Amino acid sequence: MRRQRSARRDGWEKTIESQGLAYHRSAHPSGLDRPYWDEAVHYAFTMEEVLSLESQVEELHAMCLAAVEHVVAAGRYRDFAIPEWVAPEIEASWRRRDPHVYGRFDLRYDGRGPAKLLEYNADTPTSLVESSLVQWFWLKDVHPADDQWNSIHERLVDRWRELPLQTGPAHFAWTNMDETGEEAMTLGYLQETAEQAGRATVAIAMEDIGWDSRALRFVDMEHRVIRTLCKLYPWEWAVADPFGPRAVRGQVSMTWIEPLWKMLLSNKALLALLWELHPGHPNLLPAYLDGPRDLPAHIAKPLLGREGASMRVVTPDGAHSTEGDYGAEGYVYQEFRALPDFDGWRPVLGAWVVGDEAAGLGIRETSGLITDDTSSFVPHRIAL
């Protein structure tokens, strides 16, 4: 694993915008010296590294599925701050094996040892467009003789094709709360992969979904019954909304992507449970729900936090916190191991899973201790 510099392509901004990364300006805070998409640098991997990472990611995913089974069998929903009324529906969703499509593991990796799990974005993962499309086209333009850990697009199309969806079009819903356009473009891309798989699709805003009180079903603006809904609206938000009970209890008559049981995998209490079930596993960091225990350095992560908000790093040298409104639901305390330093920048690897198979890699860099919305996305290649 090496960090290398390269010249930006002429007109790179218009190029990536034409490929779907229209939000690269709006999704990045203003006033930063570095753009969100930064192709002036990239990471080069060997094929042996990538094959090893693929194997590690698939093992982590299998461990996560086993953790869901453990929570359901033992009824450990309270550890995840899951409302009691939701728990039976999560169990039913899991027992039915409601279909899932994709997720993204965030990993610490320095090229010298096993990857360490930082969190699993299993319900509403983003950075999909740049991981699947934009960096692939960069590779073809700049390093056409090399390869990339990236079969995301093909696997998404295949996954939509094999899913046992109900009849009628699949609806893809963004929320009007998204001011950057990232959510709309991500869902538009997912919609495109479903169409390439031969699925009929409809785009809709979450705010435009209605409830038919006679049929007891959700409907779109044309009064069509919604039988499949792909959304980037977190389940914890949906559960707290007025329509939440209808969404949760109507699982059996409607396919949600991602399914309700993914609430357990998108919750950072998962980190403590995995360490409990697999203590000392080479891909895990020690993590606990009742406090940092004897960890010499730790990071407190809110169970439902996003974009690095409301976190606190405590080391023998001091403490560092990020702003945010998360944390009322509780925290997990994970051993803090700083991201590896490459020329003053710290990468976090976003390893994608489609279905149950490792599918590709996206990398974000930060100069600080915590990866947040100021980080930049950089491409990668496999040097052949």
Cα–Cα dist 45/43, whole Å: 7
Contact of 217 with 155, CB cutoff 8 Å: no
**% residues pLDDT > 70 (the chain):** 100
Contact of 118 with 101, CB cutoff 8 Å: no
Tell me the pLDDT tens digit for each residue of 306-346: 888 899 999 998 899 888 889 999 999 999 999 999 999 99
Amino acid at 183: E
Q: In the prediction, which pLDDT does 251 show?
A: 83
Cα–Cα dist 167/199, whole Å: 10
CA dihedral sign of residues 62, 64, 65, 66: positive
- Is the peptide bond prior to 329 cis by the omega test (within 30 degrees of 0)? no
Q: Which two tokens stand for residue 90?
A: 């999560």
Q: In the prediction, which pLDDT does 266 show?
A: 97
Question: Is residue 28's pLDDT more than 80?
Answer: no
Q: Which two tokens stand for residue 129?
A: 């467009």
Mean pLDDT of 99-109: 98
Amino acid at 344: G
In what helix (H) or strand (E) does residue 214 lie, and over which residues does it extend? none
Closest by alpha carbon to 375, among 126, 80, 91? 126
Tell how strand 376-378 and strand 357-366 pair up: antiparallel
State the Rg of the chain over Cα. 20
**% residues pLDDT > 90 (the chain):** 87
Q: Which two tokens stand for residue 44?
A: 């080069």
Q: In the prediction, which pLDDT does 233 show?
A: 95
Tell me the CA distances in angstroms from 99 to 155, 160, 372, one per residue in order.
Answer: 15, 10, 30
Q: In this structure, how many other beta carbons lie within 10 angstroms of the beta carbon of residue 46?
A: 14
Q: Which two tokens stand for residue 217?
A: 């079903």
Tell me the pLDDT tens digit for each residue of 170-202: 999 999 888 888 999 999 999 999 999 999 999
In what helix (H) or strand (E) does residue 110 lie, and over which residues does it extend? none
Cα–Cα dist 143/193, whole Å: 25
